[in-house]
Structure 1
Amino acid sequence: MSNRLERDVKNSWTVEYEEMPFPSVQKGWVLPVDRWKDFDPFILMAEDWFKRGTFPDHPHRGFQTVTYVIDGRLEHIDNGGGRDILEPGDVQYMNAGWAARHAEDGVENDIAHTLQLWLNLPKNKRDTETMYQNVYNENAPVVSFSGGQIKVFSGNIAGVEGPMKSIVPFTLSEIELSEGADYTLQLPENHNAFLYVLRGSVNVGTSQKTLKKHDVSTLTYKDEGNPDQLSDISLSSNHRRTKLLVYSGEPIREEIVPYGPFVMNSMDEIKEAFRDFHAGKFGPPAE
């Protein structure tokens, strides 16, 4: 008899949205910022609808971002010479490291609709080199199964390796299920994980708790578990076109101070980041 961990829903909630002043449109907190200890290694995740001019040139230090485009087009510009347009289903990874400076904008008259996850860096990696990687929808490997498919952006899942090369390993997969379809997702048992329902309705875990569009769930996991031992997450669709994202990562277990555009280990380090930015150490504007 297998002793593999069968996961269940730990906590769940429905994202609440608020209208924002133009050129932003609407915002919701998928992962609220004040609960980062529960989400470790994840810090927050925001769902945004916005037009051009909402997120002009700005700095970051001390963490990573993972941006998934749900709809519209997103233009990324960084002060290292990077410029690209991401479309629905594309994902961008950024390691802010010691000093990132970039802009994220809607294209022309599009309303960009995105999910941006902040992923922590351990203290000994906060001064790593800044880097960006775009993973286009068509370049992420897909594994089909009866009644659906799983697309892997990051990590090793379902026997395939996602193309994302993050400083701190994590998994990101997109799962689509037709009505009545079942799938068992396997993740390392020591990974803290959460899922977000983009469309439809799905029963999750041993309790088969029903989650619908705009619902978020954290999942049970084995703290201090074996990273080489897999766990099972049971998923069953109640809708003809269910779609969800699942993120997982190993907790870092360090105290952090998220403040403005920076994530550090102390307020003194936050103040130093602001001083460095104003002293020009982050380089020229992204434009």
Structure 2
Amino acid sequence: MNRLIKDHWYVQYSEETLPAIQKGWVLPVDKWADCDPFILMAEDWFKKGTFPDHPHRGFQTVTYVIDGRLEHIDNAGGRDILQAGDVQYMNAGWAARHAEDGVENDIAHTLQLWVNLPKEKKKTDTFYQNVYAEKAPVVAIPDGTLKVFSGSIAGITGPLQTIVPMTLTEINLEEGAEYIHRTPANHNAFLYVLSGDVTIGKGGDEEVQLKKHGVATFQYDETGDSHIESDCRLIANERRTKLLFYSGLPIKEHIVPYGPFVMNTMDEIKEAYRDYHDGKFGPPAI
């Protein structure tokens, strides 16, 4: 089965007020119904002081560090510094409280993806998992490599353990390389071009060429089986073409993304704010 392109666009960026520097919406939040289970993805450049202590509830995050250093602090005592190519997973569950910031004078450049949790899992325990770039398995392909962070890709399973089944693969291709990327046919999927130039699709009217900052979303088999894979053909038109390919099993539930929370109803959003102000999320992350 070939994956057909559903939509494609280039990210638009806005200048921010220091210590934030620049922001772009790779996946705007108003596309959440089409991108299920993915809610949004933000690309940010920022310095220390942009994202101090704050709460979350009802979803997961997957943060990929493009450049600079990112410091993570949570109110359970976790603290770490992630660098370029590292990934952090957070299950916010019922009550996450953390900070994520640049280190010293670094400009942190990150991609943060919000992934929905099904209603019955929104009260799960909060936990974090870091996958450092050198710990993610690498698969050699003709004129390129795959780095598998999550899911089973090309016979390799990534170390990231997400609650909602998903895959995350960093794909590096040299000029002229042709590669077929296979993911579960019943997963919704999208890719983001980090560098270079790539042609996507099987040819003709079903083919799209994207450069850096390009995004493509794909159709999927809503009644399919997770053991059946779909194919996405990629051809690199420049050397050092790098992209991230994400896929995830849709949840098919209505959601209300509001501020730092993602719940199923507005009443649940109000409850989250009350719980936070009543101290139920625990002490600050400092």
Q: Which residue of 2 aligns with 1:238?
A: 237
User: Deviations for 1:155-196, whole angstroms, at most 9, x for unmatched residues?
Assistant: 001100000011112100000000000110111111100000
State the match for 2:270 in structure 1.
271
**Residue 247 of structure 1 corresponds to which residue in structure 2?**
246
Does structure 1 residue 80 correspond to structure 2 residue 79? Answer: no
Q: How does 1:1-287 map to 2 (within 5 A)?
A: 5-206=1-202, 207-287=206-286
The percent of aligned pairs where both chains have the same amino acid is 70
SS of residue matched to 1:193? strand
8 Å CA contact 1:8, 1:204 repeated in 2: no
Q: Which moved more, 1:224-233 or 1:237-246?
A: 224-233
> Which amino acid counterpart does residue 192 of structure 1 have in structure 2?
N
SS at match of 1:53: coil
Which secondary structure state, in structure 2, belongs to the residue aligned with residue 44 of structure 1? strand
Q: How many residues align?
A: 283
Alpha-carbon distance in 1 for matches of 2:223, 2:261: 28
* Structure 2, gaps ≥5 residues long: none
Q: CA deviation at 1:9?
A: 1.6
SS at match of 1:165: coil
Secondary structure of 1:124 counterpart: helix
Query: 8 Å contact 1:59–1:102 — kept in the other structure?
Result: yes
Residue type at the aligned position of 1:112: A
**Contact 1:43–1:117 (Cα < 8 Å) also in 2:** yes
State whether residues 148 and 176 of structure 1, in contact with CA within 8 Å, keep that contact through their aligned partners in structure 2. yes
TM-score (norm 1): 0.98
| Paired AA for residue 251 in structure 1 | P
Give the Cα–Cα distance (whole angstroms) in 2 for the partners of residues 210 and 9 of structure 1: 11
Q: Which moved more, 1:61-70 or 1:161-170?
A: 161-170
Q: What RMSD over aligned residues (CA atoms) do the two structures have, in Å? A: 0.6
Query: Partners of 2:135 and 2:52 in 1: how far apart?
Result: 28
Q: State how far apart, in whole Å, the 2-side matches of 1:260 and 1:173 are.
A: 29
Q: CA deviation at 1:227?
A: 1.2
CA distance in 1, matches of 2:133, 2:241: 18
1:98 Cα deviation from its structure 2 partner = 0.3
